[in-house]
Chains A and B, each alone.
Chain A
Amino acid sequence: MNHLYRELAPVSERAWQQIDREAERVLRHFLAGRKLVDFSGPHGWDHGALQLGRVDPAADPPADRVTADVRRVQPLVELRAPFEVARVEIDSIDRGNDAPDLGPVGDAARRAALAEDRSVFHGYAAGGIEGIAQATTHDRLPISDDYNEYPGTVARAVALLQRAGIGGPYGIALGPKCHTGVIETTERGGYPVLEHIRLILGGPVVWAPGVDGAIVLSLRGGDFQLVSGQDLSIGYLDHDAESVRMALVESLAFRVLEPDAAVWLAYTS
């Protein structure tokens, strides 16, 4: 047994498979950061921190004519999205029900994906994570509800990256409002805005529910790193006669290694 305590849950192997499959399906759909940034790991649950290679001088060394420096590390953050599944639904799986109500699993997967992506794109200060939008050295490019302007704005973002010496291909994480606007809009000649943007970037256009506005970034590698200790897993918490409580669990850290490698497109209002 490990820290997920799955063996203690009153859940059969068949039911675990259905629950895991449902969570995986929803996570793959909603996770956006992993489609754009480097992924390192999983390094294991006991992987507690990243080495940053820097030190901070420590006051009052423990002896005369001795200096002391403290290594700087970035701790991994443990994220948990708890959920509860009715035991009648779990039990029905073993009777052959291939459409059990696993809504709470999908809901938790959406929350877990959002938590990871918010950390990647906008940071999580309490967890020591600076997000891409906050770390970038470029000025924000303003966007509005006029989606015909998007190809021009994306082209300006790519030009900023190129001028900073950041090579492509480039990709874009489109927040929900931007994504809806972009896919609904065609330019005056009838050409879809989405296709035009894809052409300018040379890389993927990713729907990113955790992004405010949109973020254009380089996909050349080495600029953004998501470090996974325990990759997304479902663990057991407790149960009673009616339901089983579980949680989607992961440990992660995120680093922006090259702040020049992204441009944030932000709504002006």
Chain B
Amino acid sequence: MAASSGALHEPGDQLRAETVERHRATVSLMEELEAIDWYDQRIDASSDEALRRVLAHNRDEEKEHAAMALEWLRRHDAALDGFLGAYLFSDGGIAERAEELEGEERGEGDGPGGASGDAGGSLGIGSLRAR
């Protein structure tokens, strides 16, 4: 296992296989995001236009890799899936969206039954498949 992937915080024999797989995906996502950041900085610093274009192309490929790793994580983490569903591609202020969701949890307001999501009053049954 690579050094970063090996950086488990608890003894490996105490971890479930799915936890270790999610750790791999999380580290992979971190590496992709870090690479994007590095490319951004190199592009800013370089004065060679051709090199800047190569770096920008490579940086954007890392974004694809990051999106793929994130999607894998979403499919293997129900809570993350819920939060991504609540925040990604939403309109308006993100902090306001958080307040709106907290209000719904307390049973206030109309709920997100408008543009997406479920109306306040839902029994929250959803899928009953064993994960």
Q: Which residues does A use to contact B, with CB under 8 Å?
A: 1-4, 6, 13, 20, 23-24, 27-28, 31, 34-36, 38-39, 41-47, 204, 219, 228, 230-235
Contact A235 B121 (CB under 8 A): yes
Chain B, residues 105-130, CB within 8 Å of chain A (1/0): the string is 00100111111111111111111111
Can you name 15 A-B residue pairings with CB atoms under 8 Å?
A2-B121, A3-B113, A6-B121, A28-B125, A31-B128, A34-B125, A34-B126, A35-B130, A39-B127, A44-B113, A44-B116, A46-B115, A47-B116, A204-B130, A231-B123
Bound together, the chains give a CA A109 to CA B113 distance in angstroms of 22
Contact A44 B129 (CB under 8 A): no
Bound together, the chains give a CA A219 to CA B74 distance in angstroms of 19
- Neighbour of A1 across the interface among B107, B110, B130, CB < 8 A: B110
Q: Is the interface of B mostly helix, strand, loop or mixed?
A: loop
Chain B, residues 87-116, CB within 8 Å of chain A (1/0): the string is 000000000000000000001001111111
Q: How far is the CB of B71 from chain A (nearest CB, A)?
A: 15
Nearest opposing residue in chain B for A219, CB measure: B129
Q: How far is the CB of A39 from chain B (nearest CB, A)?
A: 4
Q: A39-B127, A204-B130, A234-B123 are in contact. Are A2 and B115 (CB under 8 A)?
A: no
Contacts across chains A and B counted by CB atoms under 8 Å? 87
Q: How far is the CB of A162 from chain B (nearest CB, A)?
A: 21
Q: Which residues does B use to contact A, with CB under 8 Å?
A: 107, 110-130
Q: How far is the CB of A202 from chain B (nearest CB, A)?
A: 13
13 A-B pairs besides A34-B125, A39-B126, A230-B119 with CB distance below 8 A are: A2-B110, A6-B121, A27-B123, A41-B126, A42-B117, A44-B116, A44-B118, A47-B116, A204-B130, A230-B113, A231-B123, A231-B126, A233-B121
- Neighbour of A39 across the interface among B112, B117, B129, B130, CB < 8 A: B129
Bound together, the chains give a CA A232 to CA B118 distance in angstroms of 9
Bound together, the chains give a CA A24 to CA B126 distance in angstroms of 11
Q: A231-B118, A233-B118 are in contact. Are A23 and B123 (CB under 8 A)?
A: yes
Chain B residues near A204 (CB-CB < 8 A): 130
Q: How far is the CB of B78 from chain A (nearest CB, A)?
A: 12
Q: A36-B129, A39-B129, A44-B113 are in contact. Are A24 and B119 (CB under 8 A)?
A: no
Contact B125 A44 (CB under 8 A): no
Contact B121 A234 (CB under 8 A): yes
Nearest opposing residue in chain B for A226, CB measure: B127
Chain B residues near A44 (CB-CB < 8 A): 112-119
Q: A2-B120, A42-B117 are in contact. Are A24 and B125 (CB under 8 A)?
A: yes
